[in-house]
């Protein structure tokens, strides 16, 4: 509540709104935008990705083995694939090319307004 400023006219408000919006979208595009909280949240995210990848791969492998009765074949196979998937997830999160599974880089310009 600043006494100095006169009541803003609609025009004034419009320009201010536009500057604010421009600033915000500009911030969104920049890479150094992340505030401290979301930076810490970002860091906490990636640790479990590795574990989860291996766990899911091995789990699905064990299920397939007990269902198809194929010894440790699928477990071993999916263990490595799961580890790969975990690393891929970490890479995708960290490199910020997108968190999406199957993200396509060529569409980056179109989607940049929705990506963080």
Partner 1 sequence: MAVESEGAGHSPLAQFEIKPLIPFRVGEFDLSFTNSALFMVIAVVLATGFLMLGTRRGALVPGRWQSVAELSYEFIANMIRDNVGQEGRKYFPFIFTLFMFVFFGNMLGMMPYSFTYTSHIIVTFGMAAAVFVGVTVIGFMKHGIRFLGFLLPSGIPIYMAPLIIPIEILSYFTRPVSLALRLFANMTAGHTMLKVFASFVLPMGSAFFIVGGVIPFALIAALTGLELIIAFLQAYVFTILTCVYLNDALHMH
Q: Determine which residue in the list 19, 62, 111, 112 makes contact with partner 1, applying CB under 8 A.
A: 111
Q: Which residues contact 50 (CB under 8 A, 6 or more apart)?
A: 83, 86, 87, 89, 90
Q: Which stretch binds partner 1 (CB under 8 A): 5-13, 14-22, 63-71, 104-112?
A: 104-112
Among positive and negative, which fits the CA dihedral 53, 56, 60, 65? positive
Q: Determine which residue in the list 5, 11, 105, 109 makes contact with partner 1, applying CB under 8 A.
A: 105
Q: Which stretch binds partner 1 (CB under 8 A): 6-14, 15-23, 64-72, 102-110?
A: 102-110
- What is the C-alpha separation between 78 and 55, in angstroms, rounded? 10
Ramachandran quadrant class, 25 (left: phi over 0; alpha: psi -120 to 50; beta: rest): alpha
Between residue 56 and residue 75, which ones bind partner 1 under the rule CB under 8 A? 56-57, 60
Residues of this chain that interact with partner 1 (CB under 8 A) are: 28, 37-38, 40-41, 44-45, 47-49, 51-53, 55-57, 60, 78, 81-82, 84-86, 88-89, 99-107, 110-111, 113-116
């Amino acid at each position: 509540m600043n006494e100095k400023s006169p009541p803003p006219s609609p025009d004034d408000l419009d320009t201010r709104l536009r500057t604010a919006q421009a600033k915000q979208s500009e911030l969104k595009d920049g890479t150094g935008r992340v505030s401290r909280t979301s930076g810490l949240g970002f860091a906490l995210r990636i640790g479990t990705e590795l574990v989860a990848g291996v766990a899911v791969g091995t789990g699905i492998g064990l299920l397939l083995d007990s269902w198809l009765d194929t010894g440790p074949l699928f477990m071993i196979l999916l263990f490595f694939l799961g580890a790969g998937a975990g690393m891929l997830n970490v890479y995708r999160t960290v490199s910020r090319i997108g968190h999406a599974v199957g993200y396509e880089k060529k569409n980056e310009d179109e989607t940049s307004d929705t990506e963080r």
